[in-house]
Amino acid sequence: MSRIFSGVQPTGDLHLGNYLGALRNWAALQNRYECIYCVVDLHAITQWQDPKELPANTREVTAGLIAAGLDSETNIIFNQSAVPAHAELAWIFNCVARLGWLNRMTQFKEKAGKNRENASVGLYAYPSLMAADILVYKATHVPVGEDQKQHLELTRDIAQKFNNDFGVEFFPMVEPLILGEATRVMSLRDGSSKMSKSDPSENSRINMTDDADTIARKLRRAKTDPEPLPETPAGLDGRPEARNLLGIYAALCDKTMEDVCREFAGAQFSRFKDSITELAVSVLAPIGGEMSRLTADPAYLDRVLARGAEQASEIAKPVLDDVYDIVGLLRPAP
Ligand code: TRP
């Protein structure tokens, strides 16, 4: 039986990259697999989060998941810190993972930047916690973007070493699920850098809560080049902005890049921009509206998260009990 697990950080301002790269794909998986989706607040605090904002950000991401189409009745949606088994298994994995493995993680190097001595120990151990997220449910498949593949390989290394060290066949080898076109949505101002909530320019990204006018304005200002659109995707080489916009269009309407190139072959950007604006508004504005409606009812979101945490705990508890047995940790008799 396949089980999906994935996580998203509650760091505020979900954008088009999160929607096309993650949330939308998660919604597409929900009727085919048992799915567990986690708002990873413990991962978020590996870098400073304002305690006054974190709860609202956690709820906003929860609203984003539901607004993107995830059914909270049939999927498990919860926040990581509400299920202590994640942190407990992460500690054990800290004792399985090797320093040499973590030293190779590119995300740590990027996030820690030049001042590595000043990064939190949690940021360094981030991949152990991520492995615990996945393996505490013995998940088999993890939908992630390209940038998380290295962490997923580390998860497999940890599972393998745990199994070897203790002579068990306990943890499964997880597989990444890399889905769809435009899994990598780039900045609207610079086609060579990823769309990111930390980009100082608001015009570089479309937020999931942007209204129709804002979406239209940002797309109108999106960087392009002077050439007409090519007949095939090969004609996009060396044109990162054009590739990004066509990729976004393709993802939003579930077409291939080939189809989109054929549709707009030889067209000027002005015509293409009218089309992408109309499409983006028709897909995103209703989602943004639903997010506002949901965030206006925090009690409802808290109920969704509480129920999800209860369901997640039920799956995680026997796995963690087995791990304690395997490792030889005594638990008080019931
Ligand atoms: N590291 C992931 C990201 O930044 C989030 C995440 C945490 C995750 N735990 C996970 C993703 C487990 C997949 C599975 O996008």
Structure confidence at residue 180 (pLDDT): 59
- Kindly tell me if the per-residue pLDDT of 104 is higher than 60: yes
Choosing from 47, 49, 130, 134 the residue with most ligand 1 atoms within 8 A of its CB, the one to mutate for a pocket test is 130
Instruction: Name the amino acid, one letter, at 46.
Output: T
Tell how strand 141-143 and strand 175-177 pair up: parallel
Distance (Å) from CA 278 to ligand 1 centroid:
32
Q: Which residues line ligand 1 (CB under 6 A)?
A: 5-7, 9, 40, 43, 130, 133-134, 142, 144, 148, 151
Choosing from 20, 26, 43, 156 the residue with most ligand 1 atoms within 8 A of its CB, the one to mutate for a pocket test is 43
111 is catalytic: yes
Distance (Å) from CA 6 to ligand 1 centroid:
6
CA atoms of 75 and 73, how far apart (whole Å): 6
- Examine the domain organization and report whether 250 and 152 are in the same domain: no
Distance (Å) from CA 283 to ligand 1 centroid:
25
- Kindly tell me if the per-residue pLDDT of 30 is higher than 60: yes
- For ligand 1, what atom is nearest to the CA of residue 143? 13
Distance (Å) from CA 5 to ligand 1 centroid:
9
- Residue whose Cα lies nearest atom 11 of ligand 1: it is 7
Q: What's the pLDDT tens digit per position in 291-322?
A: 999 999 999 999 999 999 999 999 999 999 99
Tell how strand 34-39 and strand 175-177 pair up: unpaired
Confidence of residue 187 (pLDDT cuts 50, 70, 90): very high
- Residues with Cβ within 8 Å of 197's Cβ and at least 6 positions away in sequence, in order, are 11, 12, 13, 15, 205
In a domain, 192, yes or no: no
CA atoms of 256 and 247, how far apart (whole Å): 8
- Examine the domain organization and report whether 43 and 177 are in the same domain: yes
- Examine the domain organization and report whether 175 and 279 are in the same domain: no
32: three-class secondary structure by DSSP: coil
- Of 253, 230, 275, give the one whose Cα is nearest residue 182: 253
DSSP symbol at 13: -
- Examine the domain organization and report whether 273 and 244 are in the same domain: yes
Structure confidence at residue 14 (pLDDT): 94
- Examine the domain organization and report whether 301 and 287 are in the same domain: no
Q: Compute CA distances 194 → 15, 60, 118, 179, 267, whole Å.
A: 11, 22, 25, 17, 26
Q: Look up the domain containing 12 and give its range.
A: 3-182+297-327
- Kindly tell me if the per-residue pLDDT of 137 is higher than 90: yes
In a domain, 160, yes or no: yes
In this prediction the pTM is 0.93
69: three-class secondary structure by DSSP: coil
In a domain, 191, yes or no: no
- For ligand 1, what atom is nearest to the CA of residue 145? 15
Structure confidence at residue 95 (pLDDT): 98
What's the half-sphere exposure (Cβ side, CA atoms, 13 Å) at 14? 31
- Examine the domain organization and report whether 279 and 224 are in the same domain: yes
Q: Which strands sit side by side in the sheet containing 3-8, from one edge to the other?
A: 76-79, 34-39, 3-8, 141-143, 175-177
In a domain, 232, yes or no: yes
- Kindly tell me if the per-residue pLDDT of 183 is higher than 80: no
Q: Compute CA distances 235 → 97, 251, 265, whole Å.
A: 44, 19, 10
pLDDT over 90 percentage in the chain: 91
Judge contact between 267 and 227, C-beta under 8 A: no
In a domain, 195, yes or no: no
- Examine the domain organization and report whether 17 and 143 are in the same domain: yes
Tokens representing residue 329 in the block: 């940790």
Confidence of residue 333 (pLDDT cuts 50, 70, 90): confident
Distance (Å) from CA 134 to ligand 1 centroid:
9
- Kindly tell me if the per-residue pLDDT of 74 is higher than 70: yes
- Of 251, 216, 237, 48, give the one whose Cα is nearest residue 145: 251
Structure confidence at residue 11 (pLDDT): 86
CB atoms within 10 A of CB 190: 16
Structure confidence at residue 145 (pLDDT): 81
Residue with the bigger pLDDT between 181 and 165: it is: 165
Tokens representing residue 310 in the block: 């209860």
Residue with the bigger pLDDT between 182 and 333: it is: 333
Please state the domain count of the chain. 2
- Examine the domain organization and report whether 146 and 213 are in the same domain: no
Tell how strand 76-79 and strand 34-39 pair up: parallel
In a domain, 197, yes or no: no
- Kindly tell me if the per-residue pLDDT of 182 is higher than 80: no
Judge contact between 61 and 185, C-beta under 8 A: no
In a domain, 301, yes or no: yes
* C-alpha dihedral (80, 283, 35, 77), degrees to nearest 10: 30
Structure confidence at residue 156 (pLDDT): 98
- Of 224, 223, 233, give the one whose Cα is nearest residue 255: 233
- Kindly tell me if the per-residue pLDDT of 38 is higher than 80: yes
Q: Which of 161, 197, 223, 255 is catalytic?
A: 197
For residues 223-230, average pLDDT: 96
Q: Which of 111, 161, 223, 255 is catalytic?
A: 111
Q: Exposed, middle or buried: residue 164 (CB in 10 Å: 0-12, 13-18, 19+)? A: exposed
- Examine the domain organization and report whether 40 and 124 are in the same domain: yes
- Examine the domain organization and report whether 68 and 136 are in the same domain: yes
Distance (Å) from CA 43 to ligand 1 centroid:
8
pLDDT over 70 percentage in the chain: 99
- Examine the domain organization and report whether 36 and 54 are in the same domain: yes
Choosing from 18, 23, 133, 146 the residue with most ligand 1 atoms within 8 A of its CB, the one to mutate for a pocket test is 133
In a domain, 194, yes or no: no
Residue with the bigger pLDDT between 194 and 66: it is: 66
Distance (Å) from CA 167 to ligand 1 centroid:
28
- For ligand 1, what atom is nearest to the CA of residue 40? 7
- Examine the domain organization and report whether 303 and 277 are in the same domain: no
Q: Which of 138, 194, 218, 273 is catalytic?
A: 194
Choosing from 9, 136, 144 the residue with most ligand 1 atoms within 8 A of its CB, the one to mutate for a pocket test is 144
CATH number at residue 211: 1.10.240.10
CATH number at residue 92: 3.40.50.620
